[in-house]
Chain A
């Protein structure tokens, strides 16, 4: 008797689960969008993918690990780990190290107007025309450094972003406990 009750109970639960799977199904692949929203959009390729979106796709497909992005840094890995419900891990140092954002600056005395850097920039942040002066639009530069290798006269350097009062940050207070004097 109890055997039949159990069978009916399991059948009912199974139907309920099946209905939920169909009724609450989510279309599309929002996971890739969510992952891409957490990536810094530097489009540098240090993760060995041609841009941030392909890397996001690879993570979603399980083909890439979450610790490949140096510009995203530890905070980025932590955010990805939180989203995907996995353990965060240290940044893969083979791809590069996490450093403060730098922007590219073209030395106008040396620039020959060859357009090679303009073609290389993934966000079109370099202004210029053939045989005319090239310049980097500081506000749009993501610091990806893809313009540096193509330049035949090596006139591009990476400089720290100019600090403004509007974006000044307080320092984080020290939270360490009083250590024993050794």
Chain B
């Protein structure tokens, strides 16, 4: 199969896959509590459907989607709702946000599922509904509600290619790899469901060339499945080839126009974990309540690949891995390039969690002394989006955010390639994250000040109007007084009171 290449990237990034790639998936035990932050996907937070004290079953919907860009949340085991309150969330801000806490009863009783073994009979909108109701979001880490991605009926461009993203390019993570090795037939079935749903002409399942065994398993499964529309290919192991835009460029040579989505050029790209979840939702009728997670790093005694109930506190997973070692230094959700450090292991696993990396001191660098930028341009050669990180750095550093925006700061995928190659050890991605969030806040403040200006002008107008009306009224009065001489008014008033007095006397 013909492959293209993307600009830049880190071909020599140490992969650290050996720590976990040969560990088969084990099932993590049901934890004592399950915690569900209501905003664990892109879009609006879900709204709770249960109250404290309610009994829930596994697979029961406990929070409903709010609006189109949102997703429902389902309980991963049976138990009682113990709290609906703020809880620490897995977010770099370290904030707490409203979450539903369930105390499990250990029975793991399930709600009734509606399987659809014969998915070919369902229409695309029906299938999209199933995906939406199952609460499926992108499990590659982005957590975008998948139903919106798959709702391509109203789009102008027909979907030509379905890409299945099995290119796990971040170091340490091997959950997708194990899924592809162990549950291959179900993933192939998921691909068929997607092909039927999207009406795409072909599907390409891409894996990196550092796991030839996985590729053989996939090829075997595809050959026995006999669907000519499904292909698999190996792609060169260059970080970040698993990034959606870079993967699309590698497999099709096309670029997603800035500000647009792959659907606009007839492509849909889905992570293999999400495909598995879709298969489970359609064929077995099961909503998204568990996922595969790699727990690895020198900070745990025994790394594992685990099937975890979503909502499990991280501490429970560490227990499965025989606890922390003495060198545990950082608790990272995600990989070492794009993940973020968590402050506590009481934080729960959410739908987007693909890896928990407990890193020791020599697996991570926790502090870098930045030297001045020597303008070497290595950052620009490494950037997969062909940006000029150097220029963006100068503008972010001097708070010239508008100029940074002009240089396409918003196209930065925060992959970290520039950061790792910089010889002056400048924390480039940090600068860009700061600049992007500062721009967001700046735009918000601009909007607020525009509204304030409108309100101020409206108020000025109202006051001026009131003043003018008052002036008009008194002017009219004065004019009226001027027209009639005073004496006439007084005579008329006197005769009026005389008449009244007479009539009262007459009656009395």
Contact = CB atoms under 8 A, between A and B. Distances in A.
* A and B physically associate: yes
A172 B431 CA distance: 7
A92 interface: no
A177 B433 CA distance: 21
Contact of B449 (A41, A170, A172, A174): A41
Given A40-B449, A123-B452, A124-B458, A168 B95 contact: yes
Contacts, number: 72
A14 to B, nearest CB: 38
Contact of A75 (B371, B399, B440, B460): B399
Contact of B455 (A40, A140, A169): A140
B342 to A, nearest CB: 16
Interface in A122-158: 122-125, 140, 142
Contacts of B455: 123-125, 140
A41 B434 contact: no
A175 interface: yes
B95 A170 contact: no
A169 B441 contact: yes
B438 interface: yes
A125 B369 CA distance: 47
B18 to A, nearest CB: 33
Identify whether the interface residues of B are mostly helix, strand, loop, or mixed.
helix
A176 to B, nearest CB: 9
How many chain B residues sit at the interface, stated as a range, is 35 or more
A43 interface: yes
B444 interface: yes
Given A165-B39, A167-B444, A41 B430 contact: no
Nearest to B453: A41
A175 B441 contact: no
Residue among A36, A165, A170, A178 facing the most chain B CB atoms (10 A cut-off) = A170
A77 B370 CA distance: 30
A85 interface: no
Contact of B451 (A140, A172, A173, A174): A140
A148 B498 CA distance: 56
A169 B436 CA distance: 9
A178 B367 CA distance: 13
A165 to B, nearest CB: 6
Given A172-B434, A173-B430, A123 B456 contact: yes
A52 B457 CA distance: 11
B456 A173 contact: no
Contacts of B323: none
Interface in A98-140: 122-125, 140
Given A41-B449, A140-B451, A169-B438, A177 B372 contact: yes
How many chain A residues sit at the interface, stated as a range, is 20 to 34
Nearest to A164: B95
Contacts of B459: 122-124
A148 to B, nearest CB: 18
B91 interface: yes
A174 B444 CA distance: 25
B450 interface: yes
Identify whether the interface residues of A are mostly helix, strand, loop, or mixed.
loop
Interface in B433-475: 433-434, 436-438, 440-441, 444-445, 448-453, 455-456, 458-460
Contacts of B95: 165, 168
B438 A178 contact: no
B417 to A, nearest CB: 18
A88 interface: no
A29 to B, nearest CB: 17
B452 A42 contact: yes
Contacts of B449: 39-42, 142
Interface string A67-84: 000000001000000000
Contacts of A122: 456, 459
A36 B459 CA distance: 18
A39 B370 CA distance: 35
26 contacts: A36-B453, A39-B449, A40-B449, A41-B453, A41-B456, A42-B452, A43-B456, A52-B456, A122-B456, A123-B459, A124-B459, A140-B452, A140-B455, A142-B448, A142-B452, A165-B97, A167-B440, A167-B444, A168-B95, A168-B437, A170-B430, A170-B437, A171-B434, A172-B438, A173-B427, A177-B372
Which 7 A-B pairs have CB atoms at the shortest separation, nearest pair first?
A41-B449, A123-B455, A41-B452, A169-B437, A170-B434, A173-B430, A41-B453
Given A41-B453, A142-B449, 18 more contacts: A39-B449, A40-B445, A41-B449, A41-B452, A42-B449, A43-B456, A51-B460, A123-B456, A124-B459, A140-B452, A140-B455, A165-B39, A169-B441, A170-B92, A173-B430, A173-B431, A175-B370, A177-B371
